[in-house]
Amino acid sequence: MKIRRIQWKVLLLTTVLMLWGPVSAKAAEVKFLDLTDYTGPVAGLALPGSWGYEDYFKDLNAKGGVEGVKIKYIGVDTRYDVARGLSAFKRYRRDKDIVAVGTVSTPFVKMLQRLTRKDKMVIIVTGDGEFQAHIGNFFIWGPAYQDAFAATLDWIKKDWTDKGKSGSPKVGFMSWDSAYGREPFRGGKEYAEKIGVELLRPEFFPVGNLKFDVYLTRLNKAGADYVYVGGVDPTQTSVMRDATALGLTKKIQFVSDYWGPTTLGVSLHPEALEGMVVVSFFLRGEESLYHPLLKRLWSTYRKKAPEEMNEGYGIGVAAGISFGQALKDAIKRVGKNKITREEIYKSYLNISGLGKEGITGPCAYSPTSRRGSDVVKFYKVTGGKIIPITDWIKTPDAVALHKWK
Amino acid sequence: MKHNFWKVKASILFAGIFIVGLLGCASLKPVPTAELQVIPDKTVLSPALIKKAVQFKGSGFAANEMVVVDLVPGPGVTIKGADEGENVGLAFATADEKGNFTAKMSPISTLNWFFQVGWTKNMKPDFKQAKPLKPGKYEILATGMDSGVIGKATLEFLTPPKKKK
């Protein structure tokens, strides 16, 4: 009888042990999946950012991980191809050790939205305000695109006044004819109306377009005083090349969105880019190249001189800092053996105010915010360098102005 | 006493095997199958496929689910940007109410996976770096992202005809 009781207890204990815990037995490691573009049309932007993630995690791991939990970085080259991204996501989706996903492609993320509606898995995305409008599991890198456009409209208004001009400036807009390219208008248009800035009819062009004379000529004829340029460089460099050739840079102030020229790009085309203003949520120019953490990580893991750094590297490092802190928070709350996607998601809502070493503004994630930060800086290409012309400026909430479906 | 000790030990072993078997059986359940058609299923790999793209039609998927179509690289086939042996996505679509779908490859997918081009900084395909897939048969899979249902078919790249002298 006693033996039978022992046998049943053993059976029960074994069952409990076999079914224990939602995570793998290897609780000393979590995985971060980066669905990015190592090659392809936007690799110039995406690849440095991915290096930033990878190197930051390597650095954390070299120091023993986060409370002893290491982060395995898994990078997948999606080549700006939605089908490839979905296929890769399908491959890794069921790996429970993957607790967060990084992405760069707006069209891919729109599809991911449909697949992960019910998932509590952190997916880090570039800048679509839609993810702030519809709070869920998608977390933006910084301020939304429309917030940055709104901040730029404020800067333009001030610049116009500082130049002693009266009335209201006319602002042109040109960008890729894509979901990303059109995103700033979803809230940005409403903000322009709110502050009394006249927005001209926007010009959208195909991704990969190389000549911009037609679009620039139309904007000039419409009386543009300022032109906001979207797209991923070398789009902006090509726009400025054509604008310079048309003599427009003397009368129109061009402002690039986040993905405009980097220090490397400016060094290749200094004359064409001279005078272009850049709005950015991450450090640019020498502020980035000689930032202590960025410089150390770049030289340690990429083994290159700081002057060879693409400033997009800082985006990945900053996002890595957020992930590391969320992991730390999750470990503190539930212990290192119970780290799940859901717990990481909960922790992302707990890291508001986290400093990211000044690479971007402080973290703004919270239960009501999916913005990675809510400040931008303005830079200007001057004498072949990207020089700051403002300090960090809080971005308006342009997302809230749009009527979202 | 010794006999009871062995009884206890046997119980532990039995319990472990029982539970592992339960968990293992769950993973051995057959995956439901669907139908898949590749159009054309035989073709010469040429730039004409960029404009007149390969299409996929399928049935037997869950209503309104997303379906992803993959190419399975055979032994020795290297796909740029993919791990060895990793399937690559060619197209995707949403199945209709009846579980049918139609998907067409985008120009980017055709350039990336059939021609395996490089890309210039100006986002133009660089055919000088292209490593097109070799003639032969390639397995194509369509997977329902919610149901896990799989449809299989084959796409054959024919050897280009020899140019007349």
Residue B138 sits at φ, ψ, to 5 deg, of -125, 135
**C-alpha distances out from residue A314 to A68, B41, B137, Å:** 25, 46, 44
pLDDT at B120: 78
ipTM of the complex: 0.82
Task: Find the DSSP H helices in A1-144.
Answer: 2-18, 43-62, 82-92, 106-115, 130-133
| SS3 category, A394 | strand
Which chain B residues touch A82 with a CB distance below 8 Å?
A: 89, 92, 106
- Asked if B119 and A86 come within 8 Å (Cβ–Cβ), the reply is no
> Rounded to an integer, what distance in angstroms lies between the CA atom of residue A362 and that of residue B69?
41
User: Which of A22, A21, A19 lies closest to B16, judged by CA?
Assistant: A19
Q: What is the helix (H) or strand (E) element at residue A382, kind and residue range?
A: strand A375-382
User: By the CB < 8 Å criterion, does B25 face chain A?
Assistant: no
Q: Which of B105, B4, B17 has the alpha carbon at shortest distance from B57?
A: B105
Which among A143, A134, A136 is positioned nearest to A121, based on CA atoms? A136
Whole-number pLDDT of residue A24:
45
Contact criterion met (CB < 8 Å) for B68 and A43: no
> What does residue A382 show for φ and ψ, rounded to 5 degrees?
-135, 120
- Helix (H) or strand (E) holding A244, with range, is helix A235-245
Nearest chain B CA: its distance from A267 CA (Å): 15
> Across the 165 residues of chain B, what is the mean pLDDT of every consecutive 10-residue run?
63 62 57 90 94 96 96 90 91 97 95 90 83 95 95 95 71
- Burial of A143-155, coded b for 16+ CB within 10 Å and e otherwise, reads bbbbbbbbbbbbb
Residue written as token pair 């419409």: A222
* CB–CB contacts below 8 A, A to B: 106
Which chain A residue shows the shortest CA-CA distance from B79? Answer: A77
Per-residue model confidence as pLDDT tens digits over A187-215: 999 999 999 999 999 999 998 788 999 99
Interface test with B, best of A79, A108, A110, A117 (most B CBs within 10 A): A79
> Could you give the C-alpha distances from A91 to A33, A86, A98, A306, in angstroms and in order?
11, 9, 12, 36
CB contact under 8 A, B82 and A77: yes
Which of A40, A87, A115 has its CB closest to that of B87? A87
Q: What separation in angstroms does the CA of A145 have from each of A311, A398, B30? A: 18, 9, 46
Encoded tokens for B95: 């199945």
- Of B94, B82, B81, nearest in space to B145 by CA: B94
| CB of B15 less than 8 A from some CB of A | yes
Q: Is B70 on the interface with A (CB under 8 A)?
A: yes
Residues of B in contact with A111 (CB under 8 A): 66, 92
- Tokens 């342009």 correspond to A398
Report how far apart, in Å, the C-alpha atoms of A8 and of each of A13, A64, B3, B8, B12 are. Answer: 8, 42, 17, 9, 9
Residue A39 confidence (pLDDT): 79
CA distance A12 to chain B (A): 9
Sequence-distant (≥ 6) Cβ neighbours of residue A291 within 8 angstroms: A283, A314, A357, A358, A359
Which contiguous run of DSSP H or E holds residue A144? none
Cβ–Cβ under 8 Å, residues A67 and A328 = yes
* Cβ contact, residue pair B122, A3, below 8 Å: no
A86 with B145: Cβ contact below 8 A: yes
Phi, then psi, of A78 in degrees rounded to 5: -95, -10
When scoring A6, A86, A232 by the number of chain B Cβ atoms within 10 A, the one with the most, hence best to mutate, is A86
Minimal C-alpha gap between B10 and chain A (Å): 9
Q: Per-residue pLDDT for chain A (405 aa), expressed as one digit of tens each?
A: 666 676 666 666 655 555 554 444 445 899 999 999 887 667 888 999 999 999 999 999 999 999 999 999 999 999 889 999 999 999 999 999 999 999 998 889 989 988 887 788 999 999 999 999 999 999 999 999 999 999 999 999 999 999 999 999 999 999 999 999 999 999 999 999 999 999 999 999 998 788 999 999 999 999 999 999 999 888 999 999 999 999 999 999 999 999 999 998 899 899 999 999 999 999 999 999 999 999 999 999 999 999 999 999 999 999 999 999 999 999 999 999 999 999 999 999 999 999 999 999 999 999 999 999 999 999 999 999 999 999 999 999 999 999 999
Instruction: List B57's β-bridge partners, or say none.
Output: B37, B102
Among chain A residues, CA nearest to B107: A81
Beta-carbon contacts of A149 under 8 Å, excluding residues fewer than 6 positions away, are A184, A185, A187, A188, A191, A228, A257, A398
CA dist., res. A269 & res. A265, Å (int): 6
In the numeric block, which tokens belong to residue A31?
Answer: 């995985």
Shortest distance, CA B44 to any CA of chain A (angstroms): 22
Cβ pair A169, A225 in contact under 8 A: yes
CATH topology for the A29-125+290-360 domain: Rossmann fold (3.40.50)
Is A87 in contact with B16 (Cβ distance < 8 A)? no
Search chain B and give the residue with CA nearest A6.
Answer: B8
CB contact under 8 A, A14 and B12: yes
Asked whether the beta carbons of residue B108 and residue A88 sit closer than 8 angstroms, the reply is no
DSSP A283-348: --HHHHHT-HHHHHHIIIII---GGG--THHHHHHHHHHHHHHHHHHHHHHH-GGG--HHHHHHHH
Query: Is residue B82 less than 8 Å (CB to CB) from chain A?
Result: yes
Please give the pLDDT value at position B143.
97
CB A6 within 8 A of CB A22: no
**Pair B123, A41: CB distance under 8 Å:** yes
**Contacting B residues, span 142-161, partner chain A, CB-CB under 8 Å:** 143, 145
Q: Kindly identify which residue of chain B lies nearest to residue A2, measuring between CA atoms.
A: B4
Q: What's the CA gap between A82 and A105, in Å, rounded? A: 8
Element (H, E) at A19: none
Is residue A172 within 8 A of residue A229, CB to CB? The reply is: no
In this prediction, residue A355 carries a pLDDT of 97
Q: Which residue has the tokens 């059939």?
A: B114
CATH of B31-158, one of 2.170.150.20, 2.60.40.10, 3.40.50.2300, 1.20.1250.20: 2.60.40.10
Closest by CA position to A359, among listed A373, A338, A379: A373
Q: Scan residues 187-246 of A and list those with Cβ closer than 8 Å to B.
A: 207-208, 210, 232, 234, 238
Nearest alpha carbon to residue A124 among A257, A316, A333: A316
Instruction: State the CATH architecture for A145-281+376-401.
Output: 3-Layer(aba) Sandwich (3.40)
Residue contact A42–B91, C-beta within 8 A: no
Instruction: Extract the tokens encoding B97.
Output: 């109410």
pLDDT in tens, B30-78: 767 899 999 999 999 999 999 999 999 999 999 999 999 999 998 889 8
What CA–CA distance (Å, rounded) separates B139 from B155?
6
Q: Is A107 on the interface with B (CB under 8 A)?
A: no
Domains A29-125+290-360 and A145-281+376-401 share a fold: yes
Spans of all domains in chain A: 29-125+290-360, 145-281+376-401
User: What is the pTM for the complete model shown?
Assistant: 0.88
Q: Which residue of B has its CA nearest to A42?
A: B123
What angle, 0 to 180 degrees and rounded to 10, lies between the N-to-C axes of helices A312-334 and A341-348? 110
Closest-CA residue of B relative to A85 is B89
CB-CB under 8 Å, B68 with A81: no
Range list of β-strands (E), A184-236: 198-199, 203-205, 226-229
